[in-house]
C-alpha cells in the first residue's frame, strides 16, 4: 500500500509539471483516500497540500483554505509530517495574504519558517523566505522585503537548488525592492544574473516582472521612448498572467512612475488595465485600492470629477470593510467546522484502535493472546537494530496442574494474575508479553545489549515468582524459563521460538525453578 501511495505521489508531481490540474486533483483524492484508510498522516497531509494547490490554481480560494487547514490539522505535531506541515503552513500564508489578512498570513509563514529551521535537510526555507519578502513588498516595506528575498536567494544557492521559475520571481522582486528604495546602482548586477539564467529558469524573453525592472531602469536613465515601449509590453503581458493579485501589484508600481512623470496618457492606459483586472478578480478589497489610485489620478491632474470619485471611494471602502468582515467570519466558520470534523475523526480512529487492541488481548490476563503476540514480535524483530540483541522467552509455571487440583481453580486463577502482574512490572515499554496457553507465557525482550542484562531480568522474574504468597496456597510457586538470544538481523520467529522451547525443556529436565538460555546450539543455566 505504501508503494501505491508513493507511485501516486510521483504521478501527481509529474502532472503538476505538465500543469494537468484535473489529473492532479483526481490523483490527490485517491491519495487522500488511501492514506486515510491506512492511517498514514504523512501522505494524508501531503494529499491535502496537492488538493489545496489544485483549488488555488482553479481560483477556488475558499476550498483551498479549507483543505489547507485540514492538512495542517492532520500534521498535529507529527514529525513524520514535517515536510507537509511546512508546505501547508507556507501555502496558507499565501492564501491569507491574497485576502489581505496579512497578520494571519505572517503567522502561517513564521510557523512554516521555524519548522523549516528544525528540518534543514528538507531545503524548504527558501520558499518561505521568498513569500515573506513578497508580503513585505505588498505592504511597501522594501527594507524587510530585501532582507528576506536576498536571504532566500542565498539559501537556494548554498543548497544548490536548480534554477526555476521561482528564481525568476525572486530575482525580479529583489530588483523591484531596490528600485522602490531608489538604490538603482544595485539593479544591473541582478538584471545580468536574470539574463544569464533566463533559459535555465524556463522564462520567456518578455517576462512581466522582468520587463517592469527594465521600465524602472529606463525611467532612471530618463529614456522616455524605452520607458513607453516597456509600458506597452507590460500592459500586453499583464493580460496573460494568471496571478491577478501579483499583476495588480506590479501595475500599481508602474502607475506610480507614470503619475510621477505626469504622463496622463500613460496613467490612463495603466489604470484601465488595472480596472480590467479588478473586474476579473471580483475582489471588493482590490476595487477599493483601485478607487484610491483613481482619486490620486484625478487630484494630480485637477480633474473636476474628483468630488464624485471621493463619494464613490467612500462607498467602496465601506463595501471592502464589509467584505473583509465577511471573509473573517467565513474563515472562522471553516476553522470551527474543520476542528469539529477532525475531532470526530480522531474519536472514531481512537475507538477503532481500542477495538483492534482489545481484540488482540487475552480476555483473562489482559496481555496479548498467542496469535497477536507472534504478530507483534515479528514486527519488532523486523525493526530491530542489528547492533543490539533481542531475546525470546517461554515461561511455564511448574506443576501448575497440582495447584489447580489441590487448591482449586480460583486460587490457580489468582496465581496466574499475580504472575502476569509481575511480568508487566518487570518488562520495559518496548517489550512484548503474551499468554501462549493456560499456564504458559512468552516474552520478547527488545534491545538486549549483553547476556548479563538478560540474566538479571531472568533472575528478577524467578525471584518475584517465588515470592508470591496466597493465603489459600501452602507452597512456593516456581517457574521454568527457556530463552533464546537473537544476535543477528532477519532471524526467523519460528526458529527462535523452537529454540526457546528446547531451552524450556532443558530447564524442566534439570529440575525446574530455573532459566536456561539457548546460545548457538549450547545451553547455559
Residue 116 host element (H or E): helix 102-118
Tell which residue, 513, 522, 447, 508, has the closest CA to residue 475. Answer: 513
**Tell me, what DSSP letter sits at residue 371?**
H
Q: Considering only the C-alpha atoms of the chain, give the largest distance between any 2 of them, rounded to a whole number of Å.
A: 113
pLDDT at 423: 87
313-353 pLDDT tens trace: 656 565 656 666 565 555 545 555 655 555 565 665 566 55
**φ, ψ at 202 (rounded to 5°):** 70, 35
Place of cell 529454540: 499
**Cβ–Cβ under 8 Å, residues 352 and 359:** no
Tens digits of residue pLDDT in 460-490: 889 998 888 876 677 788 999 999 888 766 7
Contact 284, 245 (CB under 8 A): no
Element containing residue 441 per DSSP (H, E): strand 440-448
CA 234 – CA 176 distance, rounded (Å): 14
Give the single-character DSSP code of 346. Answer: H
**What is the reported pLDDT for 303?**
66
Of residues 409 and 189, which shows the higher confidence score? 189
CA distance 305 to 307: 6
CB contact at 8 A, 422 and 409: no
Q: Exposure string (b/e) for 468-504, b if CB count within 10 Å is 16 or more?
A: beeeebeeebebbbbbbbbeeeebebeebbebbbbbb
DSSP letter at 120 equals G
Q: What is the DSSP letter of 162?
A: P
Question: Would you say 447 and 392 are in contact if contact means Cβ atoms under 8 Å apart?
Answer: no
The pTM is what?
A: 0.56
What pLDDT shows up at residue 206? Answer: 85
Reported in sequence order, the residue ranges of 258-415 that DSSP labels E, i.e. its strands, are 368-369, 389-397
Contact criterion met (CB below 8 Å) for 390 and 493: no
Q: Are 24 and 43 in contact (CB under 8 A)?
A: no
Picking from 111, 118, 121, 104, the residue whose alpha carbon sits closest to that of residue 90 is 111
Query: For 176-232, how does the pLDDT look when each residue is reduced to its tens digit (9 = 90+)?
Result: 999 999 999 999 999 999 999 988 888 887 888 999 999 999 999 999 999 999 999
Give residue 229's Cα distance to chain centre: 46
Going along the chain from its start, the domains and CATH numbers come out as: 368-524 (3.30.70.270)
Secondary structure element (H or E) that encloses residue 445, with its range: strand 440-448
Amino acid at each position: 500500500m505504501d508503494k501505491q501511495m508513493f507511485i501516486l505521489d510521483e504521478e501527481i508531481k509529474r502532472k503538476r509539471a505538465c500543469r494537468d490540474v484535473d489529473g492532479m486533483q483526481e490523483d490527490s483524492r485517491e491519495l487522500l483516500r488511501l492514506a486515510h484508510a491506512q492511517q498514514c498522516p504523512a501522505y494524508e497531509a501531503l494529499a491535502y497540500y496537492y488538493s489545496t494547490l489544485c483549488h488555488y490554481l482553479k481560483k477556488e480560494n475558499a476550498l483551498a483554505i479549507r483543505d489547507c487547514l485540514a492538512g495542517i490539522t492532520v500534521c498535529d505535531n507529527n514529525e513524520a509530517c514535517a515536510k507537509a506541515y511546512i508546505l501547508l503552513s507556507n501555502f496558507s500564508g499565501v492564501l491569507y495574504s491574497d485576502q489581505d489578512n496579512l497578520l494571519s498570513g505572517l503567522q502561517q509563514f513564521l510557523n512554516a519558517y521555524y519548522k523549516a529551521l528544525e528540518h534543514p535537510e528538507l531545503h524548504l526555507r527558501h520558499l518561505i523566505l521568498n513569500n515573506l519578502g513578497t508580503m513585505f513588498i505588498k505592504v511597501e516595506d522594501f527594507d524587510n522585503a530585501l532582507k528576506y528575498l536576498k536571504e532566500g536567494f542565498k539559501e537556494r544557492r548554498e543548497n544548490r537548488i536548480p534554477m526555476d521559475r521561482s528564481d525568476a520571481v525572486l530575482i525580479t522582486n529583489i530588483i523591484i525592492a531596490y528600485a522602490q528604495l531608489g538604490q538603482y546602482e544595485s539593479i544591473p548586477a541582478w538584471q545580468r544574473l536574470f539574463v544569464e539564467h533566463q533559459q535555465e529558469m524556463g522564462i520567456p524573453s518578455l517576462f512581466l516582472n522582468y520587463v517592469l525592472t527594465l521600465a524602472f531602469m529606463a525611467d532612471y536613465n530618463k529614456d522616455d521612448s524605452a520607458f513607453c515601449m516597456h509600458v506597452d509590453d507590460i500592459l500586453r503581458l499583464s493580460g496573460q498572467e494568471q496571478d491577478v493579485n501579483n499583476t495588480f501589484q506590479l501595475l500599481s508600481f508602474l502607475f506610480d512612475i507614470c503619475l510621477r512623470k505626469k504622463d496622463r496618457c500613460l496613467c490612463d492606459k495603466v489604470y484601465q488595465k488595472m480596472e480590467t483586472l479588478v473586474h476579473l478578480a471580483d475582489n471588493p478589497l482590490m476595487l477599493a485600492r483601485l478607487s484610491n489610485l483613481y482619486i490620486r489620478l484625478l487630484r494630480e491632474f485637477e480633474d473636476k470629477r474628483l468630488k464624485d470619485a471621493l463619494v464613490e471611494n467612500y462607498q467602496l471602502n465601506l463595501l471592502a470593510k464589509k467584505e473583509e468582515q465577511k471573509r473573517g467570519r467565513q474563515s472562522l466558520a471553516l476553522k470551527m467546522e474543520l476542528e469539529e470534523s477532525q475531532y470526530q475523526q480522531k474519536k472514531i480512529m481512537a475507538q477503532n484502535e481500542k477495538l483492534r487492541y482489545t481484540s488482540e488481548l487475552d480476555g483473562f490476563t489482559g496481555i496479548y493472546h498467542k496469535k497477536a503476540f507472534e504478530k507483534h514480535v515479528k514486527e519488532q524483530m523486523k525493526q530491530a537494530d542489528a547492533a543490539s540483541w533481542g531475546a525470546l522467552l517461554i515461561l511455564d509455571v511448574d506443576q501448575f496442574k497440582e495447584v489447580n487440583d489441590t487448591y482449586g481453580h480460583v486460587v490457580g486463577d489468582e496465581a496466574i494474575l499475580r504472575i502476569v502482574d509481575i511480568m508487566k512490572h518487570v518488562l520495559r515499554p518496548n517489550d512484548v508479553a503474551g499468554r501462549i496457553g493456560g499456564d504458559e507465557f512468552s516474552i520478547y525482550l527488545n534491545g538486549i545489549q549483553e547476556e548479563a542484562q538478560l540474566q538479571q531480568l531472568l533472575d528478577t522474574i524467578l525471584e518475584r515468582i517465588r515470592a508470591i504468597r496466597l493465603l489459600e496456597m501452602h507452597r512456593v510457586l516456581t517457574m521454568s524459563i527457556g530463552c533464546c538470544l537473537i544476535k543477528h538481523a532477519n532471524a526467523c520467529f519460528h526458529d527462535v521460538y523452537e529454540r526457546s522451547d528446547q531451552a524450556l525443556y532443558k530447564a524442566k529436565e534439570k529440575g525446574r525453578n530455573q532459566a536456561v538460555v539457548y546460545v548457538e546450539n549450547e545451553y547455559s543455566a
